[in-house]
Structure formats: C-alpha cells, structure tokens
C-alpha cells in the first residue's frame, strides 16, 4: 500500500484563502477609509485607500484581471459555503435550521456523492480520492438537515460540502453533535438555529520544540485531511430576545461515548484567530449567552444513541425477517426498549403483516 503523502507548511490550512481575502478587501474597498480602522490596518495607510493615484496604478497592475480563486460565496438550496479551489475542500459551510427545513420526506438513499457541478472539474475532488483512503466522506452541512426538499438533500452530497473524516467520528460523536443541533429546533423550542461548520488544521509541537502544521492528503487530487472539525451554533428564541452561541473544535479521530461536548468547546475569539474568519460579523456578540451555560450541551448517551438507530432500522424494515433481526439487536446489546420503540415495532409488524396478506 502506498504511503500517504504529507504536506507541511508553516502558515496553516487556510493561509492561501486568507491572503486572497485580504487582497480582495483592499481592491474592492479602496475608497472606504473607515475600513482601514475597522480592519485593524494602520491608520497611516488610510491615505492609500483614498488616493486616486493608487486606484489608477492598481488598474494598470491588474490590467488583465485580479487573480481569481472563485466566488467568495457559493449558494445552494439549503446551505452556502466558501470553497478552497486549491485544496478541493470547503473553508466554511453555513446553514439556517428551522422546523420547516427539518420536516419532510426527502431521503438520502436517493442521493449520491458526486463532484459539485458548479465548480470547474480541475478544482473538484472526486469519489476516487476517498476510495480505499481509510477516510469517510464527512458532510459539513449534514444530509439530515435537508428533509424538506430532495434537491437540497442531493446538493448536500456535492463533494464541495465534504471533507475526509474518521469513520468512527463521522458515525458517532460528530453524528451526535449534528443531532443535538437539530434537537435545539425540534424539541427544545428554539425557532431558528444558524450553524457554520468547517475543517481546520491545528499545529503540533515536534520533539525539537518547533511547531508544524502537518496533514495527510488523499487521492490523485490530494484532498487534505483536517486534523480537526469546527462547528459554531447560534440558537435564537422565537421572540428574538435570547441568542445562545457555542463554538466547538473536535479532533478528526475516534472519540469515546463518555466524552462530553463541553470538552471540545472553545471561545469564538480563539476559533476566529485559528481560522482567520470573522463568524457572524453582523451579530452583536455582546448580547449573546454561552450555549452550554444555558442548555448544558448534553449529547445522547450511548444507550440513547443505540436506541435511536435501532428505531431508524425498524422504521425502514420491509419484511418480518428484517424486522425481527433488528429487534433482536436489543438483546444482543443489552438494551431496554422505550415505549416509543415498542409502539414502532408493533406498528411496523402490523403494516408488514397486512401488506403480505394483500399480496
């Protein structure tokens, strides 16, 4: 088996994107002196933003166009993102959750992972990059957030919304975090939840004391494997009076069931420093409260998580044999069914019996 390629650079996973963003800001807003102050640019540099000769010279320098890294934001049916064309990965993916988008009959079984049709082929990842790589295809905007519309569901399977993710992490801890995010709307009474998710690479200290940023790349397109994933959750009540925010950075590796979400909470300021991204720039953050202080940020226990997936398998059973096999998992895993699961089993059994008699 070929050895994984490892890329090493000292500026970090997002440095190229940040340089491009800085240049774009200078070229686009060179007549706005206030931007110099707001962006932390030295006050003495303001003159260059208002001096017409700078714009004239800039037009000459860029006679044949500004080097283009693609659109700043790409919009989809139920998510938006910024995409790093050089690394074939999203930088951030944003969503807005409410009961409407979380309700419906869209089904992921009708969706397929595929390159984003909106991105030129030369900048796209491919399914073959993930094949036998040892990494799963991890959604940044989860498929489960798109129940209202099959097109939205399908678009969440574009590889522009995917990063290489540890399989155990993807199916367990990260899955529970995604479920928690939906639960804020579905059962906890928050009318609107905004979520921003993305990959990140954190530095490590070598034996010689030097810091490095290292990450594996996979496939012909050398798709980067992030060391961590981040997710920011902003929950708002229906009266708009309460806004809760929480930022989390989760290692891209297996995580035990007894680990809590609080263990991976970071300050929003730290995450903004690590990524170079100002999240929710139009939000007055002084009016927000810590999500985990108010809601506790409690994820499903191992038992609750197992029962949830047994319930999903029961609901999708199409014959008695399959139904009974799934039900037997309760004994195998030493789990006690709750009333909901018992009622689901009995309902599915009656439906299957009736269908078989009709046939």
Please give the biggest Cα pair distance in the chain. 84
How far the first Cα of the chain sits from its last, in Å, is 51
Query: Rounded to an integer, what distance in angstroms lies between the CA atom of residue 78 and that of residue 81?
Result: 10
Query: Rounded to an integer, what distance in angstroms lies between the CA atom of residue 80 and that of residue 96?
Result: 10
**Helix, strand or coil, per DSSP, at residue 289:** strand
- Looking from the CA of 94 toward its CB, the CA atoms found within 13 Å total 12
Q: Which residues of 238-276 are buried (b: 16+ CB within 10 A; e: fewer)?
A: eeeeebbbbbbbbebeebeeeeebeebeeebeebeebbb
Q: What is the DSSP letter of 110?
A: G
Q: Are 156 and 78 in contact (CB under 8 A)?
A: yes
| Given the residues 139, 228, 257, 259, the one annotated as active site | 139
257 among known catalytic residues: no
Q: Are 271 and 279 in contact (CB under 8 A)?
A: yes
- Residues annotated as catalytic are 139
């Amino acid at each position: 088996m070929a050895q994984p390629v490892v890329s090493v650079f000292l500026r970090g996973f997002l440095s190229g994107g940040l340089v491009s963003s800085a240049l774009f800001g200078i070229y686009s807003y060179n007549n706005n002196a206030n931007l110099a102050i707001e962006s932390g640019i030295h006050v003495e540099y303001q003159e260059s933003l208002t001096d017409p000769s700078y714009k004239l010279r800039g037009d000459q320098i860029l006679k044949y166009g500004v080097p283009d890294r693609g659109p700043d934001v790409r919009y989809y049916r139920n998510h938006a993102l910024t995409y790093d064309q050089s690394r074939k990965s999203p930088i951030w993916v944003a969503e807005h959750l409410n009961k409407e988008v979380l309700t419906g009959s869209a089904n992921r079984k009708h969706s397929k992972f595929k390159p984003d049709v909106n991105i030129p082929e030369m900048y796209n990842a491919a399914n073959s990059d993930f094949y036998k790589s040892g990494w799963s295809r991890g959604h940044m905007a989860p498929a489960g957030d798109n129940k209202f519309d099959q097109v939205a569901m399908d678009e969440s399977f574009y590889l522009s919304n995917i990063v290489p993710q540890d399989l155990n992490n993807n199916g367990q801890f990260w899955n529970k975090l995604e479920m928690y995010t939906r639960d804020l709307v579905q059962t906890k009474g928050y009318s609107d939840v905004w979520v921003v998710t993305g990959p990140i690479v954190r530095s490590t200290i070598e034996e010689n004391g030097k810091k490095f940023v290292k990450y594996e790349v996979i496939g012909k397109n050398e798709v980067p494997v992030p060391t961590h994933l981040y997710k920011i959750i902003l929950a708002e009540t229906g009266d708009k009076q309460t806004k809760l925010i929480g930022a989390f950075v989760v290692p891209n590796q297996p995580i035990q069931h007894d680990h809590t979400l609080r263990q991976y909470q970071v300050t929003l300021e730290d995450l903004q420093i690590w990524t170079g991204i100002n999240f929710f720039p139009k939000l007055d953050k002084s009016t927000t409260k810590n999500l985990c202080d108010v809601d506790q940020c409690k994820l499903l226990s191992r038992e609750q998580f197992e029962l949830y997936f047994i319930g999903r398998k029961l609901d999708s059973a199409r014959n008695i044999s399959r139904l009974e096999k799934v039900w037997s998992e309760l004994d195998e895993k030493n789990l006690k069914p709750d009333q909901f699961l018992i009622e689901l089993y009995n309902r599915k059994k009656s439906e299957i019996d009736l269908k078989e008699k009709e046939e």
